[in-house]
Amino acid sequence: MPLEVDLKRDKEKLSCFEQDQLIGMKFGMGTLDDMNHLKKKHIRSVADLLQDPFGLALVRLENMVRGTICGAIRHKLKPTPQNLVTSTPLTTTYESFFGLHPLSQVLDRTNPLTQIVHGIKLSYLGPGGLTGRTASFRIRDIHPSHYGRICPIDTSEGINVGLIGSLAIHARIGRWGDEYYMVAAGNSLALNRGIQEELVVPARYRQEFLTIEWEEVHLRSIFPFQYFSIGASLIPFIEHNDANRALMSSNMQRQAVPLSRSEKCIVGTGLERQVALDSGVPAIADQEGKIIYTDTDKILLSGNGDTLSIPLVIYQRSNKKTCMHQKPQVSRGKCIKKGQILADGAATVGGELTLGKNVLVAYMPWEGYNSEDATHVTSHGPERITNEIPHLEARLLRNLDKKGIVMLGSWVETGEILVGKLTPQMAKESSYAPEDRLLRAILGIQVSTSKETCLKLPIGGRGRVIDVRWIQKRGDGRPVDMVFNPLGVPSRMNVGQIFECSLGLAGGLLDRHYRIAPFDERYEQEASRKLVFSELYEASKQTANPWVFEPEYPGKSKIFDGRTGDPFEQPVIIGNPYILKFIHQVDDKIHGRSSGHYALVTQQPLRGRAKQGGQRVGEMEVWALEGFGVAHILQEMLTYKSDHIRARQEVLGTTIIGGTIPKPEDAPESFRLLVRELRSLALELNHFLVSEKNFQINRKDA
């Protein structure tokens, strides 16, 4: 009885306190709770999610043990530990949790960066959470409490934007935060004397910006990467890019395929080595010692009186069908320290993350080939110039020298070879001709997988070969690899990629690698621009190439047309940005349908490559066909290849016997479905055919 009285008094006190708070807020006293603040959130780890089903599994196990004991007592048997306790409830729980839980995913192993980023995701989705269709904009938006904890850039695109985020690079999950600390911005660990002489400094306290004395500062934010996630921290000059494009860049880095011959980026941020080490892809020495044996599949390390065998990954396929391979980087007899790199893995070189290659790029329009977002790629690549071309007669190769180039003074006719070239191509077993497969099966002869791409004299040409100096595109004679459209930069506000491109040109000429921290403008105004121009000027002086830095148009260079040798009218930006190759390849996406399944309701072809789906001719596609006046093709698209049941069945039979395809006489299924939907609204549609003769008669009668 006294306990109930105390509870009643506490409720009355709490009610009075709430009323006082509401009255105070009416007059500007007190603040409302911010439900989007991180202190109002609770992170549920995998252990928290597993706790409830694991508890139910233990209850089921307890009931099974009780039932086993009762049955043994009833039958006067002595139960054994094997019969008493079984692992079936726990095993079933674990399998259902990790296999059927909405948040359970297979680890993405496209490249080393993906493996790290996938493990530090935060999600509002799942059981007890939100959904992509019901979450409001306030929940998705960036909150001031995310500072240094959740990356404001790295999130998913599409319907789940803002609902899936990434931890910041130095964020740790714990019970306490820094809400009651005075936080100020700093530039270095050691506070210089100039800062101490200042009486007051700007600081942040509980989401408010204050001006306090220097001695009252508790913490200083000194690391320029601490606001971002790992993916966003790898973008050089990120402060000069639009945030939406930085989001796309951080997501696209995780889609890069590990290359067979990758390169270190000339312009980076300095975190490439740490990301590669934390991913676990390179083989690292756990102790000091001496290498006594190296092979493609293992490394033997002798140290501390024992021999340690380190196995290497040999051409394994990841769950994203990318190649995982480790290459030894140490030789026999070399002394190794603890933590030293023994073997590079996929997308790592020298212990650094290397997702792409440094490609020579020019930003200029080129005869409309790179309009919109198109990219012009030059053809020089994995080709081999030789005079040994298989399947070609000797008379066609008579004018080539040992290097495969036509000799000076040779008389050539139309179709004769000027340069002998072989281009490697991927050939599957099914692509070989039957006689080639027979030779491989019986005699073991390897059929050539190279394609003949020789340069031949055009039709109508004849004459004698003379020596002509071929002028390439760049100032030093090197042709560019890719040509980008410059209009793609200002509209997307990606100024950072221009800085990276120009600084990459200087680094390529000086053989340097730059590691640039973001927000360098806090040290000096226009710091990024000054750094790029100073390095270009130094590269121009050391390499004696005045075209690298010209004071009239700094950062741009005159390049030449390789066909005529004339310079282009305007100087353009050229450089060495870091180019990645994505996992989205055309061969995996292109699809054609011969025959397949149809939907039950609409009787139209299914959707998607996995279901052997077909075309979807919508309203705009019909407009395009109508604009060209292709009536027969349009009828074929909307009947035979779509939802006309009787016509498509007749097409298959007549095609097999070689007959004439009959024209459809009745309406397709989509029109019938439209009539049924109108009937469900109590509307009857009467359609009939009016001939021209009847129309004229009715018109005269009228």
Which residue range(s) make up the domain with 394?
386-461
In this prediction, residues 322-348 reach a mean pLDDT of 92
In a domain, 190, yes or no: no
* Whether pLDDT at 23 is above 80: no
pLDDT value at position 472? Answer: 39
Q: Which amino acid is at 530?
A: K
What's the pLDDT score for residue 435? Answer: 57
Any domain includes 555: no
The residue that leads in pLDDT, 315 or 33, is 315
What is the enclosing helix (H) or strand (E) of 290? strand 289-294
Per-residue model confidence as pLDDT tens digits over 535-560? 999 999 999 988 999 999 999 998 88
Residue 636 lies in a domain: yes
* pLDDT average, residue stretch 4-10: 49
- pLDDT (0 to 100) of residue 4: 44
Residue 162 within a domain: no
The C-alpha angle with vertex 211 and arms to 208 and 215, in degrees rounded to 5, equals 115
In a domain, 582, yes or no: no
Token pair, residue 26, equals 């009416």
Q: Is the predicted pLDDT of residue 135 greater than 50, yes or no?
A: yes
Residue 62 included in any domain: yes
Find the helix or strand (DSSP H, E) in which 648 lies.
helix 645-657
Is the pLDDT confidence value at 438 over 90? no
pLDDT digits (tens, 9 = 90+) for 660-688: 888 887 888 888 888 888 889 998 876 55
Whether 458 has a pLDDT exceeding 60, the answer reads no
- List of residues 6+ apart from 215 with CB closer than 8 A: none
Q: Count the domains in the chain.
A: 3
Could you tell me the CATH number of the domain that includes residue 682?
A: 3.90.1800.10
Q: For residue 210, with 0-12 CB atoms within 10 Å meaning exposed, 13-18 middle and 19 or more buried, which class applies?
A: middle
Any domain includes 18: no
Tokens encoding 135: 């979450």
Q: What residues are paired with 636 via a beta bridge?
A: none
Which amino acid is located at 391 in the chain? H
| Tens-place pLDDT, residues 590-622 | 888 877 888 888 788 888 888 888 877 888 999
The pLDDT value recorded for residue 449 is 58
Domain end among 104, 119, 154: 104
Which of the listed residues 81, 104, 127 is the one where a domain comes to its end? 104
CATH number at residue 448: 2.40.50.150
| Angle ∠(532,536,538) on CA atoms, nearest 5 | 120
Q: Among 166-180, 191-205, 224-238, 555-569, which range has the highest average pLDDT?
A: 224-238
Residue 144 tokens read as 């001031």
* Per-residue pLDDT, 190: 44
**Number of neighbours of residue 690 by Cβ within 10 angstroms:** 8
Residue-wise pLDDT for 366-407, tens only, equals: 888 888 888 877 766 556 677 777 667 777 777 888 777 777
Nearest CA to 168 out of 223, 246, 243, 106 is that of: 223
Residue indicated by tokens 């027969």 = 632
Whole-number pLDDT of residue 111: 93
Domain boundary among 51, 69, 104: 104
Give the contacts of 342 (CB within 8 A, at least 6 positions apart).
282, 283, 284, 285, 299, 301, 310, 328, 329, 330, 336
Q: Give a yes or no: residue 263 inside a domain.
A: no
In the prediction, which pLDDT does 370 show?
82
